Amino acid sequence: MYLTLCVMCGEKCASTPRPTVNVEIQALPSDARDLKIESTLCGPTRTTTILAVADTGCQSCLASTSFLNQLGLNSSHLTPTSMKMRAANQNTIGIVGALIQCVTGFTQSMEPKTTRQIVYFSHSTDKFFLSMEACRDLGIIFNTFPSIESVMTDSSAMHNDTDDPNEDRCHCPPAKPHPLFPHPYPFQLLRKTEKN
| Residue 146, amino acid | P
For the chain, give the mean pLDDT: 79
CATH for 37: 2.40.70
14 has a pLDDT exceeding 80? no
Using a pLDDT cut of 90, give the percent of the chain over it. Answer: 42
pLDDT at 158: 42
Instruction: Answer yes or no: is 4 within a domain.
Output: no
Say how many domains are in the chain: 1
pLDDT at 10: 63
Cis bond upstream, residue 146 (ω within 30): yes
Contact 1, 13 (CB under 8 A): no
- CA–CA gap between residue 138 and residue 169 (Å, rounded): 29
Instruction: Answer yes or no: is 185 within a domain.
Output: no
Residue 30's domain comprises 20-137
pLDDT at 162: 44
Instruction: Answer yes or no: is 152 within a domain.
Output: no
Instruction: Answer yes or no: is 31 within a domain.
Output: yes
Beta bridge partners of 101: 117
Q: What is the pLDDT of residues 129-179, one digit of tens each?
A: 999 999 999 999 988 888 887 665 544 444 444 445 445 556 666 666 655
Instruction: Answer yes or no: is 75 within a domain.
Output: yes
Instruction: Answer yes or no: is 187 within a domain.
Output: no
- CA–CA gap between residue 140 and residue 19 (Å, rounded): 10
Q: What is the pLDDT of residues 32-47, one digit of tens each?
A: 888 778 788 888 999 9
Instruction: Answer yes or no: is 168 within a domain.
Output: no
